[in-house]
Structure 1
């Protein structure tokens, strides 16, 4: 029986290794509040989707946000997204989006509700093909400080979220689901680090696909206003 269990375990591990692997998801974000109501946001990403050590995807994006209220932040953004396959550029994307973020606090726990509508234009140079896409996303992001009542310098916090993606005109309409869990540390007034595990499920007509990411990010927050109370934003894997 022990030998049978051992063989089953080895077969299971071999199957997982053959079909699914660990991917890398690295990001640097910058949030700069230059007015009590307005802020700019920028982000760079580098991912290894097929091989953890070889980056085959990058994106550069940013935009302008408005603090409508303390817990309500509309935002408009744009970005460039590039995929590689077999060490060759396979697809370029230009994207614009509108989003609305509504925060709800219950004690020390913050629930972030993010709604986003995206318009994308694609170009695949290897086959000289262009296409377009509309995508709609909703994310519920929960964060809680672990060693203080609020997130401040020296705070360790936990973060988890679930996000769904709906697309048109492509099929299936329900295209993706992301689930994330991890921890962060606010180093000082400007720098924070976040790391965790991100599971991504791709729903496709030809078959579903799972991606397993190790997420690592450096978040930079700069408040150029005269406010004495400093807030920290943690965008999460995007």
Structure 2
């Protein structure tokens, strides 16, 4: 099973890359730094910084800084509240700013060594466009199924290589169309030690718009830092994935 998962991911990444070239769609960058700090057996803080080079791979034209508070309701059930600031650049000037708050619920379960994570999120956003003075608001609803499989161990721990795939859908209001976005990701990760883990992979994103659909192709790279101050004898490792 481990070999088939690895071969399947490799084939998926190769096919989607060549399709992007055939349709004159370029590769963009998607870089993230995440920090999870567990300061209580039930509570944890999460922070993330992100930059993307959408129009040009090497020039970031989008960034976000966000974070929030999570609660371990049970071992496999983690509600979360967060907020963040987001900015999009055009012609090297801020084109749109966004302030966002959200509520989410994460429920996961394991089948053998395979972990299935279900994430539901409701977001409220306020936008401002500095160049035009225009303001707007949006509600957005997201669902993600995230699947991870350790490849050289029975669970993720120090020294573990793992495969990770997910699919996420986005629904918006009041804009049209309601089904606004779909993301598909495939990649691999490595838990370096008790604190640091790295992720890398390919993310395909389709935007559904009244004027026509758009495809984006991202090379995703992330450094995840996990700090557990609870002194719990069994550590857990979080790898949030592209968000």
- 3-state DSSP of counterpart to 1:27: strand
**Other-structure match for 1:87:** 92
Q: CA RMSD in A?
A: 1.1
Q: Relative to 1, partners in 2 of residues 1:230 and 1:89: Cα closer, same or farther, differing over 3 Å? A: same
User: Structure 1 residue 221 and structure 2 residue 238: aligned?
Assistant: no
**Other-structure match for 1:196:** 201
Name the count of aligned residue pairs: 225
**Other-structure match for 1:143:** 148
- Residue ranges of structure 1 left out of the alignment (5+ in a row): 1-11
CA distance in 1 between counterparts of 2:240 and 2:23 reads 31
**Other-structure match for 1:55:** 60
**Other-structure match for 1:6:** none
Report the Cα offset of residue 226 of structure 1.
2.0
**Other-structure match for 2:179:** 174
CA distance in 1 between counterparts of 2:43 and 2:112 reads 26
- Residue ranges of structure 2 left out of the alignment (5+ in a row): 1-18
CA distance in 1 between counterparts of 2:97 and 2:155 reads 40
**Would you say the 8 A contact 2:27–2:57 is kept in 1?**
yes
TM-score by length of 1: 0.93
Bigger-Rg structure (1/2)? 1
CA distance in 2 between counterparts of 1:42 and 1:15 reads 37
TM-score by length of 2: 0.91
The equivalent position to 1:97 in structure 2, one of 99, 102, 112, is 102
